[in-house]
Amino acid sequence: MLNLRNISRAVVVGGGTSGWFAALALRRMFAPSTEVRVIESPAIGIAGLGEGGLLNLLDALRRNGIDLTEFVQETGAAFKLGVSYEGWRTGAEDDHYYHLFGRPGLQETDWMEAGFHPLISGMVHEGIELHRYVPGFAAIAGNASQRDALAMLRLGASSGLSASFHFDSHRLGDYLRRVAVSRGVVHQQARVDELLCDEQGMARAVRLEGVEEPLALGLLIDASGFARLGIGGKLGVRWRSFSEHLLLDGVVPFRMPHPQPNPSLVTRAIAMPSGWMWQMPLVERVGGGYVFSSAHADEAQAIYEIHRRVGPGVEPMRALKFEPGHFEQVWVGNVMALGLASGFVDPLESSLLGQMLEQLRNFERIVTAGGGVVPGRVIEGFNEANARCWSGIRDFLRMHYDGPRRDTAFWRDFADLPPPPGYAELRQCFQRRTPRPIDLQNYAIHGWQGIFHALNWLFVAAPLGVVPRKAAAAELQGLPSASRARVAAYITRMRELGAAGDFSSKGDRSA
């Protein structure tokens, strides 16, 4: 049992997005008599690159009472309506597909029967690109301004789109710090030298550099980034590596000017010879990075490929090496690791931020629901659910590389890489039908919501050919004749509107 009911101090080690979101949550969770303190090392900075969120970013902002207009102004944020995948199937200039943040409320495409979306399956069967059913896609294709995008989103469900944001990670951390301090969070700049635990492994204090007396605490959130002082350091929890299933292990960040008059409304994910490049547009500039496999390129080669793709004027930053994976337990006793201190994977699909916010949401839910008293079995369930969420991220990311591209050693080696068992079985199912909610329920247990859902999987699986057109046809055949007629009428209207696109030549290997 963990009793947090009468603790006098909760400490967050590390700032940044994870640390300050945690501080805001703790300040809401505990009474004013409990001090919430963030200890941030002045020697460790934030890169200040462009970063993107998922839809749970907006939920986190609202839960913390943060005004969205102020958030946009303070962080240089720009709308993010999804991801544009460029060159992931053939490498050609016209090889694009989109994973958009669809919005519930489109009466036709929300229709579900027999566990799936018949109209969307009809589009897959007919080779119609899925982003074409979203009315708001015209704003993305037309490089609409932020003002016009806002006007379009205010139309509500008729736009077919939900929005998250691209933002400057340094400015976000700084903004969250100011909000947290204004609400009573104590900010201390110091280096944590050691976490002090009792014989039962409970954290009791931290020893700070140059300070003789240890700082006592009742709860520790480890947001120390790759330093991983708590779970990975002092407590020695075992690491679960994903490197046998995900090849990428290095990244070279950079900044660049906007290539278009307005910030793009989607993250650009550009396939590269040894990995992929992100371009996340902010209001003032674009934050980018090349995520690569060190087995196929070194830092110098990655920089050469950046310059070749973007231009010689881009100045890359220092490369970062990582091992994809996570700690098997992230909540041990009164210590919880969060953000990079918990795990790290290929930054594709903004999964790192999305998972961090879902983990923090569930931590708050459990502590609050228990009145500050948490049974050990509930903590075990939390760790199991966290690991399942990471497995879902791993499998979803692995699917992105399961396309037809084979023109470089990297893409050939990824094609030959054994898929995780969970994804391998899902892929077998997807050869016979489209992704369904039931397929993914094992990734979100014990009250977790998960961060990628059936339509997210379908937006990627269909263009890559992981769901072949004949699989969609097979499941449609099982519908009553009236439902099949409804699908046929919808497809006719889509074609009359000029929505038909042929992705079979680029991605569908079994049309």
- Which one from 80, 234, 321, 470 is the annotated catalytic residue? 80
Beta pairing class for 275-281 and 267-272:
antiparallel
- What does the buried/exposed string (b/e) look like for 175-202 if buried means 16 or more CB atoms within 10 Å of the residue's CB? bbbebbeeeebebeebbbeebebeeeee
> Active site includes 80?
yes
CA distance 18 to 33: 23
What secondary structure letter does DSSP report for 403? S
| Cβ pair 352, 344 in contact under 8 A | yes
| Residue 340 marked in a binding site | yes
Counted residue by residue, the chain has a size of 511
Report the DSSP beta bridge partners of residue 195. Answer: 206
Give me 24's structure tokens.
């805001």
CA distance 415 to 406: 8
Report the DSSP beta bridge partners of residue 276. Answer: 271, 291
3-state DSSP call for residue 50? Answer: strand
| Residue 349 marked in a binding site | yes
CA distance 502 to 179: 49
Where in 180-334 does DSSP place strands (E)?
186-189, 192-197, 203-208, 215-216, 219-222, 239-241, 250-256, 267-272, 275-281, 286-292, 320-321, 325-327, 331-332
How far does the chain reach from its first CA to its final CA, in angstroms? 56
Dump the DSSP string for 129-196.
-GGGG-TTHHHHHTT--HHHHHHHHTTGGGG-B--EEEEEHHHHHHHHHHHHHHTT-EEEE--EEEEE
| Residue 192 marked in a binding site | yes
Beta pairing class for 215-216 and 203-208:
antiparallel
Give me 319's structure tokens.
């490369």
| Cβ pair 437, 376 in contact under 8 A | no
CA distance 394 to 419: 10
Give me 390's structure tokens.
């990471």
Residue numbering of the annotated binding site for L-tryptophan: 349
Residues with catalytic roles = 80
* Binding-site sequence positions for 7-chloro-L-tryptophan: 80
Binding site for FAD, residues? 192, 340
